[in-house]
Amino acid sequence: MAVSRYSRLIVGAQVMWERSWENMQAIADNLPPANCYCSDDLAVYSELIWPDCPDYESGDEGNSEHIISYGKEETHNIESVNADLRTYLGRLKRRSRCFSRCIQALRRAIRLFVWHYNRRQRAIANNPRLKGNLSLCF
């Protein structure tokens, strides 16, 4: 899952069996261009080719930076989204032993979660007084 730091919108999500370089590169290729990408210290992240952010002033491709966060100082936004994901999707609760093994059902559930989560984040961005008072399914 990928989250924009400034808008807090989920900009990429993929359900996969394993985090191989090929699977992770496919996600990175579909991310919107950004000046900086932050990730945890999973080895595959340092091997990925991240999209370049265009430099609008000069008109050419700029270089994107990839930061590996060993603590949570750079990845706290995605960690909070992951916590929301586990809270709202019972099949992903850590202590739950009842989860669907059908990857298609999990993909549909994640798509639905992303749609509702981004809808809530847009509503909060339009009306900041809603922060903390707006449930995920409103």
Query: 87 lies in a domain?
Result: yes
Domain residue limits at 91: 2-130
- Mean pLDDT over 6-27 rounds to 90
pLDDT of residue 99: 59
Q: Is 124 inside a domain boundary?
A: yes
* Residue 135: inside a domain: no
Buried b / exposed e over 68-104, threshold 16 CB at 10 Å, is eeeeeebbeebeebeeebeebbeebeeeeeeeeeeee
Is the residue at 136 inside a domain?
A: no
Strands of 2-135 (E only): list them: 2-3, 10-12, 36-39, 65-68
Tell me, what amino acid is at 117? Answer: Y
Asked, for residue 36, whether it belongs to a domain, the answer is yes
> How many percent of the chain have pLDDT more than 90?
19
Write out pLDDT tens, residues 48-101: 988 887 665 555 566 778 888 887 778 888 888 888 888 888 777 665 565 566
pTM for the model: 0.78
Number of structural domains in the chain: 1
In a domain, 16, yes or no: yes
